[in-house]
């Protein structure tokens, strides 16, 4: 990554759910001077991540101090960087809660949001072709 941010996030800005959540964090980080960079996977910044668009669209990715995480572990890393959300990272990180959150995210939430993303892409493609 070419920035000085200690933490970087790649997200899908065209996904209404992803964009809403990440923009909330971005506003908070900006207002509080936190060293977090937010990269849209649909921009040139994705090339710096070494992750293709489809992979990046499937889940949240966070790079913190040269360690790349995804899914709930990435969410925990991101929340731990923001004072307002550290309590949430601690609670979700508790044994048992973390395993349930990871399973719910990996097998229900992330796949549902990804399928929604693919449907939106198909509809956009169909509109362009018509």
| Total residues belonging to the chain | 130
Q: What is the pLDDT of residue 129?
A: 79
Q: What is the pLDDT of residue 126?
A: 82
CA pseudo-torsion sign 88, 117, 58, 96: positive
d(CA 73, CA 129): 39
Backbone angles phi, psi at 2, to 5 degrees: -90, 5
Per-residue pLDDT of the chain (130 residues; tens, 9 = 90+): 344 568 999 999 999 999 999 999 999 999 999 999 999 999 988 888 988 999 999 999 999 999 999 999 999 999 999 999 999 999 999 999 999 999 999 999 999 999 999 999 898 888 887 6
The whole-model pTM stands at 0.88
Q: What is the pLDDT of residue 18?
A: 93
Q: What is the pLDDT of residue 5?
A: 65
């Amino acid at each position: 990554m070419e920035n000085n941010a200690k933490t970087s996030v790649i997200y899908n800005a065209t996904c209404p759910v992803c964009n809403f959540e990440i923009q909330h964090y971005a506003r908070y980080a900006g207002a509080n001077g936190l060293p977090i960079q937010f990269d849209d996977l649909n921009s040139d910044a994705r090339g710096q991540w070494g992750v293709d668009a489809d992979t990046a669209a499937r889940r949240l990715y966070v790079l913190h101090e040269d360690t790349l995480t995804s899914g709930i572990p990435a969410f925990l890393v991101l929340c731990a960087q923001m004072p307002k959300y550290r309590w949430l990272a601690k609670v979700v990180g508790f044994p048992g809660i973390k395993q349930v959150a990871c399973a719910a995210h990996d097998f229900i939430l992330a796949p549902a949001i990804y399928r929604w993303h693919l449907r939106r892409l198909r509809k956009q493609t169909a509109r362009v072709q018509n």
